[in-house]
A and B are shown apart, each in its own frame.
Chain A
Amino acid sequence: MSLATTTNYLTPTGREEPWRFTPLNRIGGLHDPSVELHDRISLEPSDIPAGVTITVEDALAFPPLSANEDQVVTRIREGVSKVLVVTIATNAEVALPIFLVRTILDMNPEISRVQVKAGVNSHATLVISNSGDGIFAEEIELNLAAGSNVRFITLQEWGSKAVHVARHHAIIAKDATFTSFVVTVGGSLVRLLPTVEYTGPGSSAELFGLYFATDGQHLEHRVHVEHGVPGAKSRVNYKGALNGDSARTVWIGDVFIKAAAQGTDTYELNRNLLLSDGARADSVPNLEIDTGDIVGAGHASTTGRFDDEQLFYLMSRGIPSEEARRLVIRGFFSEIVSKLNLDEVEERIMARIDNELATVKI
């Protein structure tokens, strides 16, 4: 992987398959080579628990760990001089979450790179909290050594003008377990690429997502799981709600099971709840299987309107309509939120969802 390969960079036009859903006119020039991108480390750790080190390293000393085809990620790789490196020591059992808080200063387009290295048999939870407004692209690579267990939580609680494009790529070794939560409740345009590859058997990934789009928001999640080795497992569960006529969400779930990946066990699920007529949710699960020898492979995608029978049931018990709707929405998301195991974050997300819900009459 060379950092200097600028020759075949083609500016996306929006006609390419990976870009056809994305409103490029709202992406703040992140894709456009004529727009200058500022190279800045924008994450601040709030506390660093024992067993964890966080350093800023020279980008040349920490080259990317994975192949990439996304043009914005290519620009990030070419544009950054430093990398934020989070190292979890071998055998470290880090009980407290590692909190990293984003500070974006202005609306000048910014880029950054992060590498997370989880040592053999280490356990840790990493939380990245994004808020405020900015135009921002980032690549986060997580390298999970054998037997490690990493929970990776990113919170997109952006302001209404924010543009956020990011790739989260996990490389999962033998017997390692990766759990990710992507919570996207803010931003004007958010395009996230949670991607996974495996390097050894017994490895496992669970990818959870929650998004809530209101008027003027485009929230796009493009999950890609590549089963290239035998005996790995993946589960994907993304749930979204849309409220407002110009609310827009995109979920792509690509799961590829290569010929070598015998014994693969995978299931992916996306559910969308439309709370207003004009809102549009695209949901595209895509499962490609190149071997007959698998444990299981499946996908499901549903997009539906609010269930009037649920509302009637709750209201017939005296619960006012606004509160009934809130209960149903909270219930819809609770399957994901309750797995976060971070009380303060759970309550904050639910409160944000309540607020988003209150902005538009259903």
Chain B
Amino acid sequence: MSTLEIKGLRVSVVTEEGSKEILRGVDLTINSGEVHAIMGPNGSGKSTLAYSIAGHPKYTITSGSVTLDGADVLEMTVDERAKAGLFLAMQYPVEVPGVSVSNFLRTAVTAVRGEAPKVRTWVGEVKEAMSALSMDPAFAERNVNEGFSGGEKKRHEILQMELLKPKIAILDETDSGLDVDALRIVSEGVNRVKENQNLGIMLITHYTRILRYIKPDFVHVFAGGRIVEEGGPELATKLEENGYAEYVTA
């Protein structure tokens, strides 16, 4: 049982006009096995929340705390956060030219597990995980995210999540740019990892579409850099009907 606890989190970025506050006091607790949907309009700070927890250098934490099972996440380097059990599936995964998927996966898994995986079991493990996400084995020889379609990038993110076995995963707009088939495959992958590994999930999304496949236990409405309303799955239904208008003007 793991717990990610975010308390009073305030985050700024440096712009040409000076420092600008994006997150204005976020409180959120995610336990193993729970799915928390973070829903909100564009520009509300959802992605900033994701990247701040992962440790992107662009964001400055001005106050508040983030802990994973009591350990101070904000004190950790980016790679230490991954080793501690956090995973961020990115909305725009980055191309790394000249680095093959297989080399990348092996390097990452070696770093997170603290030892190189056994060659014999490793090959099978990767093959199985790829096959479950309907990925061609030839994919492993391609360079990381280079020339990938939107669907391939998102499958590749979930593949990493499956192999790295995090405690808590943040999925940042994983549904964006996916057609219905790809959305189903990716969602099934997320659900499988959640069931097998008792993963806690922060599911960031603009649309309710993905919530038909990944059932949230909690829905949080995000606007103006903080959570403005919380509820169960019924809140998503309300958002689908009414949109975010009432929160944006608020």
B-facing residues in A65-95 (Cβ within 8 Å):
none
Q: Give Cα distance in the complex from A313 to B143, angstroms.
A: 14
B-facing residues in A304-362 (Cβ within 8 Å):
307-310, 312-321, 323-324, 327-328, 330-335
Residue ID in chain A nearest B79 by CB atoms: A315
Select one of A309, A318, A330, A333 contacting B111, CB under 8 A.
A318
Task: Give chain B's interface residue range (CB within 8 Å of chain A).
Answer: 20 to 34
Name which of A309, A315, A323 has the most chain B CB atoms within 10 A of its CB.
A315
Residues B108 and A317 in contact, CB atoms below 8 Å apart: yes
Residues A327 and B96 in contact, CB atoms below 8 Å apart: yes
Residues B164 and A331 in contact, CB atoms below 8 Å apart: no
Residues A323 and B96 in contact, CB atoms below 8 Å apart: no
Q: Give Cα distance in the complex from A319 to B99, angstroms.
A: 13
Given contacts A316-B88, A318-B83, A328-B99, contact A308 B57 (CB under 8 A): yes
Residues B79 and A331 in contact, CB atoms below 8 Å apart: no
Q: Give Cα distance in the complex from A334 to B104, angstroms.
A: 14
Residues A332 and B94 in contact, CB atoms below 8 Å apart: no
Residues A312 and B56 in contact, CB atoms below 8 Å apart: yes
Q: Give Cα distance in the complex from A331 to B57, angstroms.
A: 23
Question: Does B90 count as interface, using CB distance less than 8 angstroms?
Answer: yes
Residues B97 and A327 in contact, CB atoms below 8 Å apart: no
Residues B56 and A327 in contact, CB atoms below 8 Å apart: no
Q: Give Cα distance in the complex from A314 to B55, angstroms.
A: 12
Q: Give Cα distance in the complex from A334 to B99, angstroms.
A: 8
Residues A318 and B82 in contact, CB atoms below 8 Å apart: yes
B126 to chain A, nearest CB (A): 14
In the complex, chain B residues whose CB is within 8 Å of the CB of A324: 79
Residues B111 and A313 in contact, CB atoms below 8 Å apart: no
Residues B96 and A334 in contact, CB atoms below 8 Å apart: no
Q: Give Cα distance in the complex from A323 to B81, angstroms.
A: 16
In the complex, chain A residues whose CB is within 8 Å of the CB of B131: none
Chain B 103-118 per-residue mask, 1 if CB under 8 angstroms from chain A, else 0 = 1100110011000000
Given contacts A313-B94, A315-B79, A335-B98, contact A327 B107 (CB under 8 A): yes
In the complex, chain B residues whose CB is within 8 Å of the CB of A330: 98-99
Q: Give Cα distance in the complex from A331 to B112, angstroms.
A: 21
Residues B94 and A309 in contact, CB atoms below 8 Å apart: yes
Question: Does B54 count as interface, using CB distance less than 8 angstroms?
Answer: yes
Question: Does B8 count as interface, using CB distance less than 8 angstroms?
Answer: no
Question: Does B93 count as interface, using CB distance less than 8 angstroms?
Answer: yes
In the complex, chain A residues whose CB is within 8 Å of the CB of B103: 327
Select one of B78, B87, B143, B160 contacting A312, CB under 8 A.
B78
Residue ID in chain A nearest B109 by CB atoms: A318
Q: Give Cα distance in the complex from A328 to B144, angstroms.
A: 11
Can you give 22 contacting A-B residue pairs, CB < 8 Å?
A309-B94, A312-B54, A312-B56, A314-B108, A315-B77, A316-B55, A316-B78, A317-B79, A318-B108, A318-B112, A318-B164, A319-B111, A321-B78, A321-B79, A327-B99, A328-B99, A330-B99, A331-B97, A331-B99, A331-B143, A332-B98, A335-B98
Chain A residues with a Cβ under 8 A of chain B: 307-310, 312-321, 323-324, 327-328, 330-335
Q: What are the nearest 3 A-B pairs in CB distance?
A: A331-B98, A318-B82, A334-B98
